[in-house]
Amino acid sequence: MTRILQFISAHMGFLWRGARFRITGSQTSTSFGANALLFVEGERLRLKFVSDRDQLLLDLQSVDADPSNQRDWHSAYRVRRLMSGERRESAVLDESDAAFIERHLDEIEGLFSSEKWPETQERLKALGKVISNELFG
> Could you report the per-residue pLDDT of 46-67, keeping only the tens digit for each?
999 999 888 999 999 999 999 9
> CB count, 10 Å around CB of 127?
15
> What's the confidence (pLDDT) of residue 133?
84
User: For residues 84 and 13, what is the distance between their CA atoms, to the nearest angstrom?
Assistant: 23
pTM above 0.85, yes or no: yes
Q: What is the chain's length?
A: 137
Q: What tens digit of pLDDT does each residue of 7-35 get?
A: 999 999 999 999 999 999 999 987 666 69
> What's the confidence (pLDDT) of residue 106?
97
